[in-house]
Structure 1
Amino acid sequence: MPNYADMLLRHEESSGFIKARRAPLGFTDGRDEAWLRDLLADNPDVLPIEEIDPSFAPLAPLCTELETEAGPVDAAFINPSGRLTLVECKLWRNPEARRKVIAQILDYARAIAQWDYADLQRRVASASGDKANRPFEAARQLQTDLDEAVFVDATARALREGRFLLLIAGDGIREGVSGMTDLISRNAALGFSFGLVEVALYQFGEQGLAVQPRVIAKTHTIERTFVVMQGPNGAVLQEGEGDADQPSQSRPTEDEVAWWEPLTRIAFNDPEQEPPVYRPRNHVRVAMPSTGMWVTAFRAMSHGICGVFLGGRKPERLEVLDALNEEREQILSELPEGTHQGMDGTEERPGFAIYAQLDDFASDEACRAWLSEQLNRFVNAFRPRLKRVEKR
């Protein structure tokens, strides 16, 4: 993490320099979270969007306190391509507050991803008091020749695909940054980008206040896709990395969401294990304590199979498998009988997966119970080992 030197202001009359005093955000001088929210909403150009993800620039302010089903977003912006930027302002106090704001902004993104353009226009009008087509009018301020029909279609598509930039802006967000960004990546179910922005304030005596937003961390947009592979024992699923520029999977139905919901509430033997997170349309993911790694449970109705396997982003997965396979026999003895290398592994670098036929289960509840049991076994086997791998 970079450290920043003192900031100096050259005094023209004396030809000398005035050294700035760092002025932390807080409740003194009225510089609270609402003050920071309004500062950013009124001055969107200070947000370093080009450095985080240029596809969301430039920013046109929509409103503050954009009400969603998950609560109000501090500040919302849009660009002429119809892509939304959501900003949550936070003055850090403790690790619990950090986890809470991450959960908040993820919930906001998931809620807004269920909207169409009319929903967005109505919610923005309610928050701003402007009953005009504010998203379009705001974007047209930045691009005067913007076509309304094209903009509305692009915005609706971005909403449907979850193409958002999520920003957490605040003070003192350097400690624990790697864990925060990993938590975001592991729990993401949409095609968004994410950034942490530290807003540094410097007081130059009576000369005024300088505001310097800095990018502390950012993520790349990574989507996961399932590819059906035909193997010697029938069709199985391989999880691969999708292209962020490719269309995302279609929106899940209410029945699909309801089918997976009980699995997001299961309790593991390991008290530190976070619950599974639903990822449209056909699986849940369990975060592992190793960057870029997780355990996935899936159900593929069209091919009549379900299963659980250890997955991850390719570079990290390959390195982790090399470490795990050093004790493969011991791991297999702890996993369910029938665990094999899966379609994601090779003879040289085998993976860990178990599959079952959907016809083997008398009911949906029986299928979910089986998936829950396998997930728990996989967590018991891999979580302590991946903790050690992460510390190497």
Structure 2
Amino acid sequence: MYPKLIMTNGEGEAIPLERVPLASGERNEAWLRDFLLRHPETLPAAEIDTAYGNLIPVCRELPTDAGPIDAVFVNRAGALTIVECKLWRNPQARREVIGQILDYAKELARWRYEDMQRQVSRALRSPGNALFRLVAERHPDADEAAFVDAVGRNLRAGRFLLLVAGDGIREGTESIVQFMQEHSGMRFTFGLVEMAGYAMPDGRLLVQPRVLARTVAIERTIMRVVEPLAAAGQMEAVEEDDLTEEPPILQRRRDPALLEADRRFWLRFGQILRLDDPSQPPPRRRGFGWARYDLGLPEAWITAYRARSVDLLGTYIDFRGEAGARLLAALEPERAEIDALLRGAVPEGELEWGETPPDSRWVALRLRIPGPWTEADDARHLAWLAAAGNAFVNAFRPRLQRLVGTAPRA
């Protein structure tokens, strides 16, 4: 049974709304596709993964070698969402559409930004960097180079939000999720969204989106301390496929007991962390020894980490590229106020503003605690990282929102 929706009239009378199929009359999959492109806010992308919120419609029928993608969206941070629309009635169609959207993801993962720009321009019949122009129309201060880099990184990593949107798909969702999770090594996030239709008393159609199923992104990412960055308390991500030799530190991190201890540590971190800013999404563990706070910008983010090899805890905000450099320069007049806020909240540790050529500028707070660390040290580490994370969000997020003119994200 489908849930009923109730509306009230001016006299407070309850009027039940009847569920109606979307696939009726002139409504078909093309209708649903165009509806979503006209009203991207109806797609619950941020509910599935906050990194994909604030969708900007790109195009319909994006041409690929795996077939045309129904609808493509992007956001200011360069996160790509692809949508396959299906008003289905038979279970077999469910597996077919899942296989189809997986084929799209595999094809896009072979592209560079130049390929994406070319195909979007073809679909829109608009020359030049049409993809970025769509973003710049919504965000005039967006930096083209930073956006291009962000989209390129996501393409190379195969990092997308894949959405199947349709009607009549309430049954069999568990098997669909299981089917998706069998694809080991996937780096995308998947969501199954039902678009439920209800008939209004005046003849209009009410469309209500519901997230029926979702998977979490799985990324094969390892953290390696890089000497030029270690002094600043920073780290860089290294993809497994890019490693030509395995340093001893990576061999140790394959120890199941050590991996499980790290997983438990960051799980506890998420449980104890209390952020003063209710609109800041919680940090996500992104690899061994680190978690990242998404600020909704491609050129700036906050990272918390524990580096056993150098006896170091740290939290830092990283500003990348020319756009990041401009943001940090704009914050320079407030440096004393920012330092006072950070120091007042976290008096223990070293605070430094610096840069790592060619394109990284940062503000780092780090604490050196001689090892070897045991589980008994975890409580101190968790308390320090939680205080530092909250302080960095308070110090930088509202200032960055003011600079780029963005509203807080729920």
TM-score by length of 2: 0.54
Instruction: Give the one of 21, 25, 30 matched to 1:24.
Output: 21
The residue identity in structure 2 corresponding to 1:21 is E
> 1:11 offset after TM fit, Å?
2.1
User: Bigger CA drift: 15-24 or 33-42?
Assistant: 15-24
> Are residues 1:113 and 2:103 paired?
no
Cα shift at 1:186:
1.1
Q: Residues 170-227 of structure 1, C-alpha deviation per residue, up to 9 Å, x if partnerless?
A: 1122211111011112125431100000000101132511110110111111134799
Partner Cα separation in structure 2 for residue 135 and residue 83 of structure 1: 12
**Aligned residues: CA RMSD:** 2.8
The residue type equivalent to 1:218 in the other structure is R
Q: CA deviation at 1:106?
A: 0.4
Contact map agreement 1:9 1:204 (CA 8 A) in 2: no
Alpha-carbon deviation of 1:246?
Answer: 4.6
Residue equivalent to 2:90:
94
* Aligned twin of 1:192: 188
Identity %: 47
Question: Match of 2:149, as an amino acid?
Answer: D
Q: Tell me the secondary structure at the aligned position of residue 146 of structure 2.
A: helix
- For residue 172 of structure 1, what is the aligned residue in structure 2? 168
SS at 1:64 equivalent: strand
Shift of 1:130: 2.0
Cα deviation for residue 71 of structure 1 reads 0.4
Match for 2:190: what amino acid?
A: F
SS, match of residue 29 in structure 1: coil
- Decide whether the 8 Å contact of 2:60 with 2:70 is kept in 1: yes
1:207 and 1:94 mapped to 2: Cα distance?
Answer: 28
**Match in the other structure for 2:285:** none
The corresponding residue for 1:329 is none
Which AA in structure 2 matches 1:11? N
Quick one: distance in 2 between partners of 1:174 and 1:248?
Answer: 37
Aligned to 2:53: 57
Q: Which residue pairs with 1:276 in the alignment?
A: none
Pairing 1:80–2:68 present? no
Q: Give the corresponding residue for 1:143.
A: 139
1:39 match = 35
Post-superposition offset of 1:47: 0.5
Give the whole-Å Cα distance in 1 for the aligned partners of 2:76 and 2:240.
24
Tell me the residue number matched to 1:341: none
CA–CA distance in 2 between the matches of 1:72 and 1:248? 30
CA shift digits 1:118-143 (9 cap, x unpaired): 11011011112222422112222333
TM-score, normalising length from structure 1? 0.56
Cα distance change on mapping 1:189 and 1:202 into 2, 3 Å? same
Q: How many residues align?
A: 238
Instruction: List alignment gaps of at least 5 residues for structure 2.
Output: 224-235, 246-255, 261-410
The answer to whether 1:8 aligns with 2:31 is no
